[in-house]
Amino acid sequence: MGSLTIHSPTSSRRQFLKTTAAGATLATAAITGLYRPASAQKKAIPLLFPTLPYPENALEPYLSAKTLHIHHDRHHRKYMEETIARVKGTDYENATLEKIIKETYGGITMIETLHLMAVLAWNHDFYWKSMKPKGGGELPPKLKTMILEAFGSVDAFKKEFKEAAMTFGSGWAWLVLDKGKAAVTYTKYHESPLLLNQTPLLTTDTWEHAYYLDYQDRKGDYADAFLNNLANWSFAEKNLSAAAPAAPSTTAPAPVKKSEKKK
Ligand code: MN
């Protein structure tokens, strides 16, 4: 379960630096990396507001075109434009969202806002890719193997994911790779699994703006539709395959002794 602390704007740098050694390193990197003259910057690779990977009406009837239009063209656009505006003239102008997210996590007010905007921009891009028209259905083989190892059955995984997606309040339910094992997590507001050394495989947005026009208070029905009709398991499989070669074998968990579970 994610439990990141986003330091309040009143936290002083000194307080933050005392908080964690890792955090202090990130904060120091963020301070020294910011506000260099434009002439010192590398060739620009500008951050862009990404288009949806499918038409706005492609996920109907499970998510309406109206929901996708407002969610993508207003909410997501705002997070991306706020991010772009805040990195203008800094070393982060050419950085990836991942780099911005990792280096701006800290207790400095100015960077904190950039951090949360960058996380929301990244999460939304990942969310659109986590769905597809005619999604759901059978899990690809590698993903299915990981799910069975971690949860025992696909239904058990779905039950846990649905419970995470129904967590009260605004957040994100995730299928992640954590220490070489598939896991379900939940992050609040603008928290990122990238800061928890987890590899995101799939996510669903559980802020009200993601589902309210179509489902109102039926958040569980939205979670069911995501899992059974929208989830892009191929995207999760692709993320799993990309992460697997880099997984450190020294921290991999011991193989599950299936014989112990059988009677
Ligand atoms: Mn959203």
For ligand 1, the distance from its centroid to the CA atom of residue 205, given in whole angstroms, is 6
What is the pLDDT tens value at each position of the chain, 263 positions in all? 333 333 333 333 333 333 333 333 333 333 333 333 344 444 556 799 999 999 999 999 999 999 999 999 999 999 999 999 999 999 899 899 999 999 998 766 778 899 999 999 999 999 999 999 999 999 999 999 999 999 999 999 999 999 999 999 999 999 999 999 999 999 999 899 999 999 999 999 999 999 999 999 999 999 999 999 999 999 999 999 999 754 444 444 444 444 444 33
For ligand 1, the distance from its centroid to the CA atom of residue 260, given in whole angstroms, is 43
For ligand 1, the distance from its centroid to the CA atom of residue 80, given in whole angstroms, is 12
For ligand 1, the distance from its centroid to the CA atom of residue 256, given in whole angstroms, is 37
For ligand 1, the distance from its centroid to the CA atom of residue 184, given in whole angstroms, is 19
For ligand 1, the distance from its centroid to the CA atom of residue 68, given in whole angstroms, is 10
Residues around the ion ligand 1 (C-beta < 5 A): 205, 207
For ligand 1, the distance from its centroid to the CA atom of residue 171, given in whole angstroms, is 9
Domains of the chain with CATH codes: 135-243 (3.55.40.20)
For ligand 1, the distance from its centroid to the CA atom of residue 209, given in whole angstroms, is 6
**Cβ partners under 8 Å of residue 16, min gap 6:** 7, 23, 24, 27, 106, 107, 108
For ligand 1, the distance from its centroid to the CA atom of residue 186, given in whole angstroms, is 14
